[in-house]
Amino acid sequence: MTIPNIITIGRLIIVPIVIVMIMQQRWSTAFVLFVIAGISDAIDGFIARKFDMRSEFGAYIDPIADKALLVSIYVTLAIVGAIPSWLAIVVVSRDVMIVAAVLLSWVMSRPVEIKPLLVSKLNTGAQIAFAASALAANAFGVDLAGLEEVAMLLVATLTIASAGAYLGGWLRHMTT
């Protein structure tokens, strides 16, 4: 067990706590925990690279922790009415589609390697920033004015573009 893996497991443990905080409308605590989770993601990656502590377990658990946090946040924010449900559906659908495609390719003995694409990295950044802004808006009364609509459209567009890029790569892999 490496230090980065311990940090990642800690991030997984934070997920249900953030959900409870949102459900109880303890917005400041939810925001702080979300920021801590984000910082921990950067720290574990830095430590893994800098001190050559990369592991196969870490390669799997880190993206699982990231997705668990983001999907949970979007679903919970939609449930409490802090974001529109259509946006949570778009975010969750992308991840379900990717997992289903990976599982199907594995079942068909045609495993596909998922590599982060630029659009995917931009998408993740936009999703994190929007989730943080939704938490901050509720925690600190931050008014995003018209930026909220633009940010939602950006998240939705990047999420759909990322899903399309992965789907295209998966289809090429499965039909060759």
CA 12 and chain centroid, separation: 12
For residues 15-42, give the mean pLDDT: 97
Dist CA 43 CA 49 (whole Å): 10
- Rounded to two decimals, the pTM is 0.93
Contacts of 42 (CB under 8 A, 6+ apart): none
Q: Name the one residue in this structure whose structure tokens are 């694409």.
A: 117
CB 110 within 8 A of CB 175: no
Q: Is the pLDDT of residue 146 over 90?
A: no
- Alpha-carbon distances of 57 from 27, 36, 73, 164, rounded to whole Å: 32, 22, 24, 28
Q: Does the pLDDT value for residue 144 go beyond 80? A: no
Number of helices (H) and strands (E) in the chain: give both, helices first.
6, 0
Averaged pLDDT for residues 85-113? 96
CB neighbourhood size of 124 (10 A): 18
Dihedrals phi, psi of 108, to nearest 5 degrees: -85, 10
CA distance 136 to 73: 13
Tens digit of pLDDT for each residue in 29-84? 999 999 999 999 999 999 999 999 999 999 889 989 999 999 999 999 999 999 99
pLDDT of residue 143: 83
- Considering only the top CATH level, what class is 3-175? mainly alpha
